[in-house]
Structure 1
Amino acid sequence: MRRLLVALLCLATLAAAAPAAQAERRLPVRGADVSSLAKSEALGGVYRHADGRRDDALRILAEAGLTHIRLKVWVDPADGYNTKTQVLAVAKRAKKAGLRLLVDFHYSDTWADPGKQFKPAAWASLPFDELVRAVYAHTFDVLDALRRQGTPADLVQVGNEINGGLLWPDGSNQNWANTARLLNAGYDAVKDVSRRTDVVLHLANGGDNGLYRWWFDNAAAHGIRHDVIGLSYYPYWHGTLEAFQANIDDVATRYRKPVAVVETGYPFTTADDDGWENLILSPEPYPGYQATPAGQAALLSKVSDIVRNVPDRLGLGVFAWEATWTGVPGNGWDPADPSTGNAWENQALFGFDDRALPAMRALGRG
């Protein structure tokens, strides 16, 4: 009888411990990029809980279990959005909702990605030493304003999808010494505002291990400082889930840095809501995952699972890209042309009826 009681007690203890162990395995960062939110709201965009109740999009995200938002920063965009002004305003709301903040510096007046890293117009003719100082000053200015507002950044990207460097041609990684000076200027600005803020270096093509080894081996050789390795992984562009898993596991263990997917996404429909052709139109963009609300949720859950299982608990988190970029007229991809659509509304975390989709809670469970 005594042995039976001991066995029952052990089973009860294990059962009680299971929820705690499961909770410990949740990703520390479960986030969404909401860079489009301020402009969407200004143009009449609204957001609703799954049951139809209208609410602040940030509260909806937080109640679904998300922990962070991501906001991009452009220097002098044509439409006046994605600047320090909007970052400060949205950050204040986010902190009130209990969300933490990743700030994503593009160092451009428009999109920066592997195919384009255009200098801001105001920096176009600066000598290189002054360009380095401009990176520092711009980074410090935005982050110090956030700190003084009482909403400091928790994570900061110095550059966006910098596969080929930044601020071309000066900062192209055809000249790694220049790339290093620019990135370290950004790093120094971040740390001069707050030593507790982690600096992320972000590449695209999350399934390409050759790219990541080449890039971060060169970064180490040239003294480029950072705290976190960020990846973009879109399964319909960046290779198989298996290739992504192999790469993120290798990168984390090879460089002994936390890793985070700072951009991912998947469609919940093939339909269009704004008259502008969407980027992804296939009913099954990745094998086994339909372009449906359930398929979107399953894909984001799978990406989260892969990050959560990175060796040595080095998987930091996942951000769904442009979760609030719904089909609001005027909120298009080109800041210089209000007639453009966004091509992304079928991959947001809110449906065409403005309601939160199942993928939001899937991401929040992390």
Structure 2
Amino acid sequence: MNDRVYSAESGSAESESWRKCGFTVGMDVSFLDEVEQAGGAFYDWEGRKADLLRMLRDHGTTAVRLRIWHVPPGGYCNLERTIVMARRIKSLGLRFLLDFHYSDRWADPANQHKPAAWAGLDETALREAARGYTRDVLTALSQQNAAPDMVQIGNEITPGMLWDDGRVDGDFDTDTQWEKLAGLVRSGMDGAKDALPDVRIMIHIDRGGDLTASERFFDRIAACGIADFDCIGLSYYPWWHGTLEDLRHTLGGLAKRYGKPVNVVETAYPWTLDKREGLDFIVHGEAQLLAGYPATEEGQASYLRDFIRIVRETAGGLGDGFYWWEPAWTPAKTEWSVGHGNNWSNLTLVDFEGRPLQALQALRGR
């Protein structure tokens, strides 16, 4: 395949409109609704109770991401609750990214299970379901003046989506399976455009520090006809995906090869490793940290500043921006809690009690 997979002409109009939006400073607050309902609260620098979304906006956030599940077991992140949250987002003048998982629960490199309601569908019916569901969700949001500005067709779909029909890892890594995956992605894209012709489309994988794997994925879907999306999305968590230089290399390589905006749509970093009763942190040891970035408030803020600079410096001005994953998932009891809280609560931008951390100030100085 040629070094440049996508033509400059195909991306030029979109790139121009994208540049008018500016660099995205985003936050994924998909748990916020549930945390608030469980009694979680947030506070400003003076210790007064604050609206978390408003506080994020006032610290420089320009966009918010929400995930949507088909029929989630806990009743959150469904269409009804997504409409409520989306209206709040739009009322604050923030851009809105909607992340379709096409599942009843987590979709990620280890889990891409189709909704239970779609379990018995054949390939044709599954494509129709994906298209209709995407269209109906976006239509419902639009009718509530809460339409997203961008949608993800799947979440971290490096191994495919809607397994096993759209699975492409391991023994499923065949030309036939890649064609099936492309068909499902196309169905989601078509459904999005049916409802919102001008909505931007992101394709999201998890390999923020692995240029070779990222290129292989996007080359494969391009060969199957999926090249007309608007933005490449990556996840980058240092303890899984490598150093900041690995990230820089991946961003630059993708921008050069595909000529599309690239967004690090998930990242985070710890502000403490101190043990807390009932919590088993996913990042819990010094060996998981980047050299020079301790798990302190200052270390987290330093990580965020340097991370933003690297994304901004992406070749061709194609660093679209970023989203911090779950900056406000405090230990309030939720459906996905572990013990007395969750294993992500030392990776937030607020402390365990919902008070802002120094990294929020780093957003202002970006």
Q: Is the 8 A contact 1:26 1:365 kept in 2?
A: no
CA contact (8 A) 2:74 2:335 kept: no
State which drifts further: 324-333 or 199-208: 324-333
- Tell whether the 8 Å contact from 2:99 to 2:153 is kept in structure 1 after alignment: yes
- Given that residues 104 and 157 in structure 1 are in contact (C-alpha distance below 8 angstroms), is that contact kept between their aligned partners in structure 2? yes
How far did residue 313 of structure 1 move?
A: 1.1
TM-score (norm 1): 0.89
Retained in 2: the 8 A contact 1:201–1:228? yes
Q: 1:286 aligns with which of 274, 287, 290?
A: 290
Alpha carbons 1:332, 1:340 under 8 Å: kept: no
Q: Is the CA contact 2:232–2:263 (under 8 Å) kept in the aligned structure 1?
A: yes
Distance 1:38 1:129 in 2: 35
The one-letter code sitting in structure 2 at the alignment partner of 1:341 is G
Larger Rg: 1
Q: Tell me how far apart the structure 2 counterparts of residues 114 and 27 of structure 1 sit (CA, whole Å).
A: 30
- Structure 1 contact 102–156 (Cα < 8 Å) conserved: yes
Identity %: 42
**Where do 4+ consecutive residues of structure 1 move more than 3 Å?**
24-27, 363-366
CA contact 1:135–1:185 (8 Å) conserved in 2: yes
Q: CA deviation at 1:191?
A: 1.5
Q: Relative to 1, partners in 2 of residues 1:283 and 1:273: Cα closer, same or farther, differing over 3 Å?
A: same
User: 2:278·2:340 contact (CA, 8 Å) conserved in 1?
Assistant: no
CA distance in 1, matches of 2:234, 2:187: 21
One-letter identity of the residue aligned with 1:294: E
Match of 1:208 among 210, 230, 241: 210
Whole-angstrom CA distance in 1 between matches of 2:26 and 2:321: 8
Distance apart, 1:310 and its partner CA: 0.7
Picking from 75, 82, 99, the partner of 1:80 is 75
Cα 1:271/1:27, change in 2 over 3 Å: farther
Q: What SS does the aligned partner of 2:133 have?
A: helix
**CA distance in 2 between partners of 1:235 and 1:359 (Å):** 17
Q: What is the alpha-carbon distance in structure 2 between the residues aligned to residue 330 and residue 117 of structure 1? A: 22
1:198-255 CA deviation, whole Å, 9 max, x = no partner? 1111111211111111111111111114110000001121011111101111101100
Of 30, 33, 47 in structure 2, the residue corresponding to residue 38 of structure 1 is 33
* Alignment-derived partner of residue 348 in structure 1: 348
Work out which of the residue numbers 250, 253, 271 in structure 2 matches 1:250: 253
- The 2-side partners of 1:215 and 1:270 are apart by 34
Paired letter, 1:79: G
- Where does residue 6 of structure 1 map in the other structure? none
CA distance in 2, matches of 1:90, 1:274: 31
Cα 1:274/1:220, change in 2 over 3 Å? farther
- Write out aligned runs for 1:238-317 (5 A): 238-273=241-276, 275-283=278-286, 285-317=289-321
Q: Residue 281 of structure 2 aligns to which amino acid in structure 1?
A: N
Alignment RMSD, CA only?
Answer: 1.8
**Matched AA of 2:363:** L
Alignment of 1:320 onto 2:324 = yes
Contact kept in structure 2, 1:267 and 1:346, CA below 8 Å: yes
1:92 alignment counterpart: 87
> Unmatched 5+ residue regions in structure 2?
1-18
2-structure distance, mates of 1:126, 1:168: 12
Relative to structure 2, which stretch is displaced further, 160-169 or 43-52?
43-52
Conservation of the 8 A alpha-carbon contact between 1:301 and 1:362? yes
Residue 140 (str. 1) matches residue 142 (str. 2): no
Q: Distance in 2 between matches of 1:232 and 1:226?
A: 18
Aligned-partner SS, 1:346 = coil
| Unmatched tracts of structure 1, length 5 or more | 1-23
> How many residues are treated as equivalent by the alignment?
339
Pairing 1:231–2:234 present? yes
Cα separation, 2, equivalents of 1:162 and 1:308: 25
One-letter amino acid matched to 2:341: G
Deviation at residue 163 of structure 1 after TM alignment: 0.6
Task: Give the counterpart letter for 1:198 in structure 2.
Answer: R
Match 2:188 to one of 186, 190, 194: 186
Q: Give the aligned partner of residue 363 of structure 1.
A: 363
In the alignment, is the contact (CA less than 8 A) between 2:235 and 2:266 conserved in 1?
Answer: yes
Equivalent residues of 1:27, 1:308 under 8 A apart: no
